[in-house]
Structure 1
Amino acid sequence: MTNSDSFPHADRRTALRATAGLAALSVAGCLGGGANGSDGSDGTADGDASGDGASADDGVDVDYAVERVAEGFENPWGIAFLPDDGRLLVTERPGRLSLVDPADGSTTSVAGAPEVFSRGQGGLLDVTIHPEFPDDSRVYLTYAATDDSGARDTIYSYGHRNPQAMAVRSETGRIWQCEHGERDGDEINVIERGGNYGWPVASEACNYGTDERVAPSHRERGDVVAPVHYWPCGSGGFPPSGAVFYDGDAFPEWRGDLFAGTLAAQYLGRFTVEGAGATDATVVEREPLLADRDWRVRGVDG
């Protein structure tokens, strides 16, 4: 963790502009097979997976622009706005934490980042700040390390295959989570304390290279929590990455919507949400944003 006293101050007008917006980290990559990504099929809590390959356009037309504010990162992963002045904390998987000023694109290394075990998908990953920042200047990081001595083992939920993102929905205070399936079967979940989310005894995915189901569907078992939204086997999937609920003022038409990046599909997905909990929430993918950029969208904040 680090302290906000070490952060130089940015221009307030820039802060207001940046804080109201929506930011996404992207990693340029080659367009592979099936890279048009998720079919947007609606796998809701009542099991209505359409699999028709189309998003549900809700007629919301928002004018936005893309601005590059910094570059030169190595495996950028997580991003978080500082609400007091609009600068950005950015993690890089090898273990670097940086502070980016959108006003001039300057990047400052932040001291005190932990030593991490960087290999494969491991390393320095996500970053978030305390809800009362800057009054409480704590910064929280997720990372892989080889020494966990003194750590307290606590399991809040289980049955997750490959979790990629968590976001708190301000209207309810509930934690939402995105994770990868095997072949397709990607999920959006509302997390309940002590909940079993199925893996490996329940899944909406197929085995790699086949059309055979990995396991029975969540809805065929009474002892697991079903995802509020999923991409069934054969849909093309939506390998998710970072996610955030948009609560800003710049785009009021989007307020309360869930935004999630996708890797292989290479776009930023927008989802509308109705209902509050793990059993009554309805999620609909509305539109793919930034789909013409060939970007693997990783971190999202706004």
Structure 2
Amino acid sequence: MKSLAPALAGLLAVLATACSGDTAASGSLGPATKEGDDGWPFAVEELDRLDEPWAMAFLPGTGDLLITERSGTLHLRDAGTGDRVEVAGVPEVVDAGQGGLGDVLPAPSYEQDGLVYLSWVEAGEGGTGAVVGRAVLETGGEEPRLDDLEVIWRQTPKVAGDGHFSHRLAFSPDGEHLFVTSGDRQLGDPAQDTTNTLGTIVRLTPDGAPAPGNPLADRGGVSAEIWSWGHRNPLGLEHAPDGTLWSSEMGPQGGDELNVIEAGSNYGWPEVSDGSDYDDSDIPDHADGDGFAAPAMSWNPSISPGSLMVYGGDLFGDWQGDAFLGALSGEALVRVDLEGRTAGEAEVFDMGARIRAVEEGPDGAIWVLEDEGAGRLLRLTPAG
């Protein structure tokens, strides 16, 4: 995804529109608001600064916060004191390009067994690829550490290059299934080939096996892991309170997407996109009857969505059930009004920095991670 100068962020917000294909729901997007403007809804509290943070997750029962840095460091931040310590036992990662330590997610059973899930990039035969592992987080000793780390899933195949790993994690609301986004590794065509897991979202059991009932289960092998395909670089993944699975996905030049993820659906990449290729060559837009699942909303020019959170708290009561996307090149927090499986109006909050991760805190505050420069950790609460 090409970067846009910060000065263009406001213009980008004005121009971003719902995708041009007739199959997508229309959305409207007004000018960005920024801190100090009338109507700015947030009080912004800076809590910390980190080096290229990528993901964060609150631990059930304590409110302590795990934060990953792409270089391979995992931090544990105390909810009460704000003190932050490094977690030992983190796997070695390939820190290059978009690769490194990625997502972190407590298991649904965390309060019983201490299990946490991590994604990262490793090297191997053929190149590099994303992996998912799980370990027990021990916090009772002199320093927190990961014990009994095991790899439970590998992106297949490993290929050359250091882009489009994706590797976002989400558990189903019932805790029975682990979903993992797997990018196309900047190769395009493998996303239409269901004999590999590039350009897919996979659905696994908590121990990493293909989940029973997956759309291609009868084919066996890695095909049995696949839930959906035709994806480019899905960097956000979350279930809404009603159980709908949503994903945010980076397009090429334009065509960033917000998608409802359904079993067995093909989302079209690289055959269709509401953007164009980096050499300015045309890619057919999504259209009725083309056989591909169209996005609920897309953006052109790009906002570069790096994350996704669906809000369920009470602190911002009017926004319950809405999607929040962290925009990288757009340097913004984007809110999309969700009604069931439909994306409606959207709103842009100009943050003046690349937003990598967005999470809802235990009290309903919105927590934001910037991924470059200061790498600030911010807590957003209602203004006034």
Q: TM-score range by the shorter chain?
A: 0.7 to 0.9
Q: Which residue of 2 aligns with 1:178?
A: 248
Task: Determine if contact 1:179/1:186 at 8 Å carries over to the other structure.
Answer: yes
Matched, 1:34 2:8: yes
TM-score, normalization by structure 2: 0.60
Higher relative contact order (CA 8 A, sep 6+): 1
C-alpha distance 45-112 of structure 1, shift in aligned 2 (>3 A) = farther
Distance 2:17 2:4 in 1: 25
Distance 1:45 1:105 in 2: 48
Query: 1:207 deviation in Å?
Result: 2.2
Q: Which residue of 2 aligns with 1:66?
A: 44
Q: Which residue of 2 aligns with 1:194?
A: 264
Distance 2:342 2:31 in 1: 14
Q: Which residue of 2 aligns with 1:226?
A: 294
C-alpha distance 267-56 of structure 1, shift in aligned 2 (>3 A) = closer
More strand by share: 2
List aligned pairs for 1:6-85, cutoff 5 A. 31-32=5-6, 34-36=8-10, 37-38=12-13, 39-43=15-19, 46-47=23-24, 49=26, 54=30, 63-71=41-49, 73-85=50-62
Aligned to 2:43, what secondary structure does the other structure show? coil
Q: Which residue of 2 aligns with 1:284?
A: 344
List aligned pairs for 1:241-252, cutoff 5 A. 241-252=306-317
Q: Which residue of 2 aligns with 1:87?
A: 64
Give % identity: 36
Matched, 1:160 2:231: yes
Query: 1:297 deviation in Å?
Result: 0.5
TM-score, normalization by structure 1: 0.75
C-alpha distance 205-95 of structure 1, shift in aligned 2 (>3 A) = same
Query: 1:49 deviation in Å?
Result: 5.0
Per-residue deviation, residues 104-134 of structure 1 (Å, max 9, x unmatched): 3311112232221111001111112223432
Q: Segments of 4+ in structure 1 off by > 6 A?
A: none
Query: 1:31 deviation in Å?
Result: 3.8
Q: Considering only aligned residues, what root-mean-square deviation do their CA atoms show, in Å?
A: 2.8
Q: Where do 5+ consecutive residues of structure 2 fail to align?
A: 34-38, 125-130, 132-150, 154-208, 210-221, 361-384
List aligned pairs for 1:110-129, cutoff 5 A. 110-129=87-106
Matched, 1:134 2:111: yes
Q: Which residue of 2 aligns with 1:258?
A: 323
Query: Aligned residue pairs: how many?
Result: 256
Query: 1:75 deviation in Å?
Result: 1.0
